[in-house]
Chain A
Amino acid sequence: MAKKAKRTTTSDDTSGGDGGFPWSTTALTAPTAGAVALFALLVRVMVSVGPYSGEGTPPKYGDYEAQRHWMEITLHTPASEWYRNTSANDLAYWGLDYPPLTAYQSLGHGLLLNTSLPDAVALSLSRGFESPVLKLLMRWTVLSSDLLLFFPAALYFVWVYCRRNVGGDKEGRSAPWLLAMILLNPCLILIDHGHFQYNCISLGLTLGAIAAVLSRNELVASALFSLAINHKQMSLYFAPAFFSHLLGKCLRRQNPIFEVMKLGLVVIGTFALVWQPYLYSLEAVMEVLSRLAPFERGIYEDYVANFWCSTSIFIKWKRLFPIQSMKFLSLITTVSAFLPSFIQQVKAPSDRGFLYALLNSSFSFYLFSYQVHEKSILLPLLPASLLALEEPLLFGWLMYYALLSMYPLLCRDHLILQYISVVALFGFIFYSPDGRSGMRANSFSIRKRALMTLPLLCSFILHVIYLSLRPPKKYPFLFEAMIMLLCFSQFVILTLYTNTKQLMLPDCSTRTERGKKDL
């Protein structure tokens, strides 16, 4: 591994930079950031060439058709009718089930589509409209959203992270590698640019909020996070972490109540701005909320690697308990799962602790919340990628099993080739030979290696089995269930680890003083 400040004076050896590669720098310079960002964009563009969800499968199609339908609805009907069942808006056919910011985003994209391809968003006439031109335009709505929101947020975060030295002084850290880990997140790329979704918007806003918290712009952070919640309600998974950290910070200041009120006002103001068309009556608000939280669909749907679905093999929750009790049960378990991390942040808020809190909070919601989608694994993955320099093993491990949990979905979308390529690419960059990731094979103990090898082997076998074999008729979802159980077991191990890590973090004030003294 290249040492940091080595300057050889031989005339033909040019140990350029700090490592051995053109992009091996410790800090993030404009060209290296540009190289990483452009490469990440290239990977997204290449994945976009592949199929999208529900391609050529009438009558329901998939998420792509849902997004196109929302553009159609928001373009041609007034805002008050977007969440209501009308003759023009049939909620049974992909009704809107995200908060109003998604609707505004669909409206914006719909306007763009309307100028070049009005037939694709014609009211009621464009159901199932598919064409290569439309695919290109739709893919570019996601790519442009990614470029406008997620990329700047990621760059800002890495810059703040390095400037604030959030992880502490460590040898051989690489800001470009961290940026690559955030931007080349295979799960996000495959879902957003393969399957077709707009997670980059809500995740980008959340990432911007996290970076703003780290750079002490808490009002901006609150506004951005409120916008993220208003784009996808799943962003609420991070709410306990934000709340606890900001509360902890406010309590340490001169005038805590005033500080809390300032933040509260920003949040309320942002919500009011977004929900403005629906604030005229409680009924309108409830109409929207009922679309956002469909409790009647049960505690889980399909096969997602969380607690309820995995234990349902032994305890048939849906049969044993009514929906009301399940709501209560999931509330209790979720709150108890994030409570330790919540309390830790209120008592001792710190930058590193905040990142761990985000991870723990989103994990607890993923594992115990009501009606979790398999795509919600993207939410814990975001803070894990932010912690990639501190916890490379955790991040790699989580990423691998998150991808495995997405595997059945991607197989249904015929994205196997893209899956293999993007995962392999991620693996190569994760283990890049300049050693900057801090991942060295011999640094793992025998115990750790044994712990990791067995599930890894099982996962390889499952990958192959799922593609090649047919499940028995009696248990048509056997393989999905096996994948789900494997992923759940790994997620439990990881969340126990991260919770312990956060609770063991030293107290903020003493740590920074100590940190400044020894260099």
Chain B
Amino acid sequence: MEEAAWFWGVATCVKLLLVPTYHSTDFEVHRHWLALTSSLPLARWYSDASSPWTLDYPPLFAYFELLLSLPASLLDPTIVDLVAGQNYAASSALLFQRVSVAAADLVLLLGAHRLACRLPPFRRRLAFAFLLWSPALLIVDHIHFQYNGFLLGILLLSLSFLAEGRDLAGGIAFAVLICSKHLFLVGAPVYFVYLLRHYCRGGFGKALGRFLAVGSAVGAVFAAAFGPFLYHGQMLQVLHRLFPFGRGLCHAYWAPNFWVFYIVLDKILAFVLAKLGFVIQAPKASFTGGLVGDSSPFAVLPQVTPAITFLLVILAMSPCLIKAFLKPQSKHIIRWVAYAYTCGFMFGWHVHEKASLHFTIPLAIVAMESLDDARHYFLLSIVSCYSLFPLLFEPQEYPVKILLLAVHSILMWLGFCQFRISRTSHQRKMSDSRGSCEKNQIIGCAGTCYLLGLFGVELWGQLLHPYFFGDKLPFLPLMLVSIYCAMGMMYSWAWQLRQIVRFC
């Protein structure tokens, strides 16, 4: 625990230094939720419309905001004032909110400690370095402003319980997680199948008893979260706020997932076919806007609806679900859950690029299992962190994000170079004399070229694009980042699928 606390302490110092940096509108969103939960009665939390930032997280997160609003009102009452606090950006609010995110990361510390404490010493420290010092998490949580660290901590806790064989506790933790941020529902199929097969077994009576136990425990969590709203007859309103319709397939900035290729292919086909003389109807809707009646945002390729994306996600997850059904082993659960979130990211509807955190963080633990996993994590964490760069577009934060990624990459390099999996003493002697990582190559030729290409994409976005195009086509560099990162993400998804199918 002492080591984990050391890592957490160093990270907290960095987070404190990041207090005065840029923050997005998410800052005002969370401040408004502080005011909302502390000023209004429960019945009006999900129906209030005094601000465009309506509450769209499940009730447990709202209770968390209520809890935070207590010290906030003591520090500076304007923070939690529903009317006077709108767009309040005084230093008291900034400091309070930033410190609250850093403090909530204690949950991440707890989750990381439980998950990594059984690893051998060197890998344990490496795991702490990657979990607690993740550059993507620092960028999203402590600059852009969100509370992912705390939620991912609950996920890690849940995974640690499952990995230890304490399935009931894991299930309850996961239920708490879903009731705090419903985006984590994507992992629910894996949890369900795993708990069903791993926990609910051993004769019909016992299995049934355990099934009821899990069911009632999870039900209790849901009841605690949603119960009050059911009592007030607010359930429909709550669900309406949690699952808003009318959003497009992609976010304004395309998350680097499968749909990027689909859109680009559609555009290319439209262009080519138009040149060949076919009549192509120009799309009326946009990718970021909602579905408008019958018109589709795609000119050539078939329309994509939320139902289709849901089916695709389930289809992509199915090999993993089958494996979990046939042979549920606690040592693979982290890998399966991470894969589930990868599928959700790759094929889901209106995915934010920040959702890549949901699988890159758990994969940091999986990376400690073998050199292959380490190699995969090396590539994935760099690509996913880079895909988050467009979130910070001001020149003041530019060196910060670059340096965070650079330090993380070097730490990964240093750490993975020292992985010495069972090799013969002769091999060890040979590579010791060479003193480099040749036998333990962290990254192959293709990977190196791909990562160097990231430099090229960045160079284009920062220097060449303004030089050649000035202010025109501002979306082009972002598109380029999306497409390039999507290639890496697709590779990661395919590689994880292969690992699960072949080795689990």
List residues of chain A with CB under 8 Å of any chain B CB.
9, 11-17, 20-23, 31-32, 34-35, 38-39, 41-43, 45-47, 49-50, 132, 136, 417-418, 420-422, 424-425, 428-429, 432-433
Contact of B403 among A11, A45, A428 (CB under 8 A): A45
| CB atoms of B16 and A417 under 8 A apart | yes
CB distance from B359 to the nearest CB of A (A): 23
| CB atoms of A22 and B129 under 8 A apart | yes
CA distance A361 to B122 in the complex (A): 43
Q: Which residue of B lies closest to A30 (CB)?
A: B410
CA distance A417 to B123 in the complex (A): 33
Render B85-100 as a binary contact track against A, CB cut-off 8 A, 1 for contact. 0000000000100000
Can you list 28 A-B contacts (CB < 8 A)? A11-B422, A14-B418, A15-B122, A16-B415, A16-B418, A21-B122, A22-B414, A22-B415, A32-B414, A34-B410, A35-B407, A35-B410, A38-B407, A41-B403, A42-B403, A46-B21, A49-B396, A132-B396, A136-B395, A417-B95, A421-B16, A422-B13, A422-B17, A424-B13, A425-B10, A425-B13, A425-B14, A433-B6
| CB atoms of A47 and B413 under 8 A apart | no
Chain A contacts of B2 at CB under 8 A?
Answer: 433
CA distance A362 to B122 in the complex (A): 42
Contact of A49 among B21, B407, B415, B425 (CB under 8 A): B21
CA distance A361 to B492 in the complex (A): 59
| CB atoms of A14 and B419 under 8 A apart | yes
Q: Which of B2-25 contact A (CB under 8 A)?
A: 2-3, 6, 9-10, 12-14, 16-21
Render B372-409 as a binary contact track against A, CB cut-off 8 A, 1 for contact. 00000000000000000000000110011001101100
- List 6 tightest A-B contacts by C-beta distance, closest first: A16-B418, A11-B422, A425-B13, A22-B414, A46-B17, A42-B403
| CB atoms of B420 and A14 under 8 A apart | yes
CA distance A43 to B414 in the complex (A): 20
| CB atoms of A46 and B18 under 8 A apart | yes
Chain A contacts of B212 at CB under 8 A?
Answer: none
Q: Is B449 an interface residue (CB 8 A)?
A: no
Q: Is B120 an interface residue (CB 8 A)?
A: yes
| CB atoms of B406 and A428 under 8 A apart | no
Contact of A428 among B10, B120, B123, B399 (CB under 8 A): B10
Contact of B6 among A9, A421, A432 (CB under 8 A): A432
Chain B contacts of A39 at CB under 8 A?
Answer: 403, 407
Chain A contacts of B95 at CB under 8 A?
Answer: 417
CB distance from B16 to the nearest CB of A (A): 4
Given contacts A14-B120, A42-B404, contact A31 B17 (CB under 8 A): no
| CB atoms of A23 and B420 under 8 A apart | no
CB distance from A338 to the nearest CB of B (A): 37
| CB atoms of B122 and A20 under 8 A apart | yes
| CB atoms of A433 and B3 under 8 A apart | yes
Chain B contacts of A12 at CB under 8 A?
Answer: 120
Q: Which residue of A lies closest to B10 (CB)?
A: A428
Q: Is B210 an interface residue (CB 8 A)?
A: no
Query: Which of the listed residues B16, B21, B122, B417 has the most CB atoms from chain A within 10 Å of its own CB?
Result: B122
Q: Which residue of B lies closest to A418 (CB)?
A: B17
Contact of A46 among B12, B400, B415 (CB under 8 A): B400
CB distance from B398 to the nearest CB of A (A): 9
CB distance from B127 to the nearest CB of A (A): 11
Contact of B413 among A15, A31, A41 (CB under 8 A): A31
| CB atoms of A11 and B10 under 8 A apart | no
Chain B contacts of A43 at CB under 8 A?
Answer: 14, 17
Chain B contacts of A21 at CB under 8 A?
Answer: 122, 125
CB distance from A420 to the nearest CB of B (A): 7
Chain B contacts of A41 at CB under 8 A?
Answer: 399, 403
Chain A contacts of B407 at CB under 8 A?
Answer: 35, 38-39, 42
CA distance A183 to B404 in the complex (A): 17
Query: Which of the listed residues B13, B406, B419 has the most CB atoms from chain A within 10 Å of its own CB?
Result: B13
Chain A contacts of B6 at CB under 8 A?
Answer: 428, 432-433
Chain A contacts of B418 at CB under 8 A?
Answer: 14, 16-17, 22
Given contacts A21-B125, A425-B10, contact A420 B406 (CB under 8 A): no
CA distance A440 to B88 in the complex (A): 47
Chain A contacts of B420 at CB under 8 A?
Answer: 14, 16
| CB atoms of A417 and B19 under 8 A apart | yes
Contact of A421 among B13, B395, B415, B425 (CB under 8 A): B13
Q: Is B421 an interface residue (CB 8 A)?
A: yes
Q: Is B41 an interface residue (CB 8 A)?
A: no
Q: Which residue of A lies closest to B422 (CB)?
A: A11
Q: Which residue of A lies closest to B418 (CB)?
A: A16
| CB atoms of B21 and A23 under 8 A apart | no
CA distance A17 to B20 in the complex (A): 37
| CB atoms of B411 and A35 under 8 A apart | yes
Contact of A14 among B10, B16, B123, B400 (CB under 8 A): B123
CA distance A433 to B403 in the complex (A): 24
Q: Is B126 an interface residue (CB 8 A)?
A: yes
Chain B contacts of A50 at CB under 8 A?
Answer: 20
CB distance from A297 to the nearest CB of B (A): 35
Chain A contacts of B19 at CB under 8 A?
Answer: 417
CA distance A417 to B21 in the complex (A): 13
Q: Is B444 an interface residue (CB 8 A)?
A: no
| CB atoms of A20 and B20 under 8 A apart | no
Q: Is B277 an interface residue (CB 8 A)?
A: no
| CB atoms of B129 and A428 under 8 A apart | no
Q: Is B121 an interface residue (CB 8 A)?
A: yes
| CB atoms of A420 and B16 under 8 A apart | yes
Query: Which of the listed residues A20, A49, A50 has the most CB atoms from chain B within 10 Å of its own CB?
Result: A49
CB distance from B335 to the nearest CB of A (A): 17
Q: Which residue of A lies closest to B411 (CB)?
A: A22
CB distance from A32 to the nearest CB of B (A): 7
CA distance A467 to B418 in the complex (A): 47
Query: Which of the listed residues A15, A39, A43, A46 has the most CB atoms from chain B within 10 Å of its own CB?
Result: A46
CA distance A113 to B123 in the complex (A): 48
| CB atoms of A15 and B14 under 8 A apart | no
Render B103-136 as a binary contact track against A, CB cut-off 8 A, 1 for contact. 0000000000000000011110110010000000
